[in-house]
């Protein structure tokens, strides 16, 4: 194949060409001239090559130094000798380019502003979620009356009456009974032998009082209220304690004195009581209500080993930022006892129905209601999906750390999937503990429950999925600590909206937020409703603000 001839071209501006005469061109093309004839410099070929080079160089310098936008092309006439207005093409191109740039910049700026506004709104929602309720200046105030203090001094000399109590149930149920045992001992003027923790049939926990609580601290704090003894004195060891009859519900101090003072004299000075849960009236004289708070919030301190591990787990949660604590009631026995269905799938629902038929005595709710009616009445625990939707509607950040307390849910980790999908930073004590940290206490349910209590109490926000002794105890504890945020799910009002699938998410969130505006742990007067427990609502008997009057 023949080789193609390569040709080179030199671009010469038309203005230059037009300035040349035909003779000049001819002279360029005819180099053989007389050596004695001197041609003008512009007739030299080198002169024009130099001009072309200078024009090209000036154009490049102008582009590099005065127009840094690489998208603006070179001027088609860099060395034009014509007035600038005679060439409109570069100006038109440049103006349209700058116009497009301006529109792009405007669009980009608007987009950035929208993103900034959205980020700002998200940050405000997040900060609003972590915001603590207004405590209205309420602080603990346990000023007892002079009569109470005088009677304490006289009671300290009595060595003839000793009260023994056996407390049952889970950890927080036992706490409630211990509180009332101290108050009953005070009413009777008796010394209290350290309460016996009944072995739990379900969990098989054989822990003693000193395994869970700091016994020395318990004695020291209550030294001016009730004498606490580790055991019966030698003078009464051989005495057979007389077990009192089962107390009715909500008994008064007068009823207690009328039924038990005589028994001390008749039965060797020792009385044994069992099943104290909810037996003592919620409405007692002011000094006795204060004593309840003193026991619950000051005397019942967990054992050092529990506090140490609980605080370690708290620190590990804190490394991830502020955190939410959830008390999830999703265990198999909870679904059976409440008469509700877990809602995982048909298989698990049938399992609960069969279990309930085999053990109808376990059902604690009204037996004439269907599981659906119970749910709408707010009698059922929230499942993981409902907890997730509630937290999202209340503005919980997706990256929030969540500590969940409670027993293993029916369905295992599958039951928690709705939560973990939306809130991936979900942990329990097993997730946070180092290898071997929990092994010594694996068979002690009360110890494990106490660890959950410590981490939950230390959280920035607490929410239970269902009412219960732990939820009530932590609610009171957080109130007494300055009304730390505590979300009470308004199940009866909100659940119909959970079942409405056609409701837009924004509207759903607005409604749920409105339902819980006054349910985040603000101070509530115990006296506003009959039968409220002072250890759940410590205002006004145990907490005062600058406008409250209290005994000194």
Antiparallel, parallel or unpaired: β 543-544 and 139-140: antiparallel
Which tens digits make up the pLDDT trace of 407-426? 999 999 999 999 999 999 99
Q: What share of the chain is helix, strand, coil (3-state, %, to 5)?
A: 50, 10, 40
Rounded-to-integer distance, Cα 498 and Cα 389, Å: 8
Rounded alpha-carbon distances, angstroms, from residue 395 to 3, 115, 261, 399, 494: 77, 19, 56, 12, 16
Helix (H, G, I), strand (E, B) or coil at 301: coil
Q: Residue 76: pLDDT band by 50, 70, 90 thresholds?
A: very low
Where does the pLDDT of residue 58 fall: very low under 50, low under 70, confident under 90, or very high at 90 and above?
A: confident
Neighbours of 235 (CB within 10 A): 12
Q: Which residues contact 366 (CB under 8 A, 6 or more apart)?
A: 339, 374
> Which pLDDT tens digit goes with each residue over 365-396?
666 788 899 999 999 999 999 999 999 999 99
Position 69 scores a pLDDT of 43
Look at residue 2 and tell me whether its pLDDT is greater than 70: no
Quick one: angle between helices 491-498 and 384-393, nearest 10?
100
Distant-in-sequence, close-in-space partners of 22: CB < 8 Å, separation ≥ 6: none
- CA-nearest of 278, 463, 473, 452 to 381 is 463
Q: How far apart are CA 338 and CA 298, in angstroms?
A: 33
Is the per-residue pLDDT at 210 higher than 50?
Answer: yes
Q: 526 near 537, Cβ under 8 Å?
A: yes
Q: Residue 348 in contact with residue 401, Cβ under 8 Å?
A: no
What are the C-alpha distances in Å from 352 to residues 198, 361, 416, 425, 547? 28, 14, 18, 30, 52
Pairwise CA distance, residues 298 & 287, whole Å:
15
pLDDT band at 54 (very low <50, low <70, confident <90, very high): confident
CA dihedral 331, 202, 362, 195 (to 10 degrees): -110
Q: What is the pLDDT of residues 335-346, one digit of tens each?
A: 999 999 998 899
């Amino acid at each position: 194949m023949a080789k193609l001839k390569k040709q080179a071209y030199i671009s010469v501006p038309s203005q230059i060409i037009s300035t040349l005469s035909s003779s000049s061109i001819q002279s360029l093309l005819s180099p053989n001239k007389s050596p004695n004839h001197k041609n003008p410099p512009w007739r030299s070929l080198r002169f024009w090559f130099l001009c072309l080079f200078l024009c090209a160089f000036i154009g490049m310098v102008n582009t590099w130094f005065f127009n840094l936008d690489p998208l603006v092309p070179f001027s088609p006439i860099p060395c034009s000798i014509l007035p600038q207005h005679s060439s409109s093409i570069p100006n038109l191109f440049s103006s349209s380019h700058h116009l497009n740039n301006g529109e792009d910049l405007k669009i980009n700026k608007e987009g950035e502003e929208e993103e900034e506004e959205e980020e700002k709104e998200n940050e405000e929602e997040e900060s609003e979620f972590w915001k603590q309720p207004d405590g209205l200046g309420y602080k603990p105030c346990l000023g007892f009356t002079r009569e109470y203090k005088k009677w304490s001094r006289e009671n300290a000399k009595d060595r003839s009456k000793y009260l023994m109590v056996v407390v049952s149930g889970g950890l927080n149920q036992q706490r409630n009974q211990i509180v009332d045992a101290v108050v009953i001992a005070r009413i009777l003027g008796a010394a209290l032998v350290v309460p016996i923790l009944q072995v739990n049939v379900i969990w098989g926990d054989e822990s003693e009082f000193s395994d869970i609580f700091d016994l020395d601290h318990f004695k020291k704090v209550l030294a001016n209220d009730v004498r606490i003894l580790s055991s019966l004195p030698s003078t009464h060891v051989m005495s057979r304690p007389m077990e009192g009859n089962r107390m009715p519900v909500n008994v008064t101090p007068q009823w207690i004195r009328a039924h038990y003072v005589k028994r001390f004299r008749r039965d060797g000075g020792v009385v044994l009581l069992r099943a104290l849960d909810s037996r003592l009236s919620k409405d007692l004289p002011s000094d006795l209500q204060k004593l309840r708070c003193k026991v619950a919030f000051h005397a019942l301190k967990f054992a050092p080993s529990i506090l140490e591990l609980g605080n370690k787990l708290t620190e590990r949660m804190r490394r991830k930022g502020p955190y939410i604590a959830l008390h999830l009631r999703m265990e198999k026995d909870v679904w059976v006892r409440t008469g509700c269905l877990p809602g995982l799938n048909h298989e698990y629902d049938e399992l609960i129905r069969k279990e309930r038929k085999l053990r109808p005595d376990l059902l604690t709710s009204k037996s004439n209601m269907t599981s659906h009616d119970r749910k709408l009445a707010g009698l059922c625990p929230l499942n993981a999906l409902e907890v997730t939707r509630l937290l999202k509607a209340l503005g919980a950040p997706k990256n929030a750390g969540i500590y969940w307390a409670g027993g293993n849910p029916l369905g295992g980790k599958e039951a928690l999937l709705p939560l973990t999908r939306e809130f991936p930073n979900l942990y329990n004590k097993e997730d946070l503990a180092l290898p071997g940290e929990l092994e010594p206490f694996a068979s002690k349910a009360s110890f494990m429950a106490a660890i959950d209590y410590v981490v939950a109490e230390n959280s920035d926000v607490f929410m239970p999925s269902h009412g219960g002794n732990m939820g009530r105890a932590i609610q009171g504890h957080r109130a007494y600590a300055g009304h730390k945020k505590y979300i009470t799910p308004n199940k009866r009002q909100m659940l119909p909206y959970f079942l409405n699938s056609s409701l837009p998410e924004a509207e759903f969130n607005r409604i749920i937020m409105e339902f819980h505006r006054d349910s985040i742990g603000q101070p509530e007067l115990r006296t506003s409703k009959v039968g409220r427990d002072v250890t759940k609502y410590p205002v006004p008997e145990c907490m005062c603000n600058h406008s409250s009057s209290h005994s000194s």
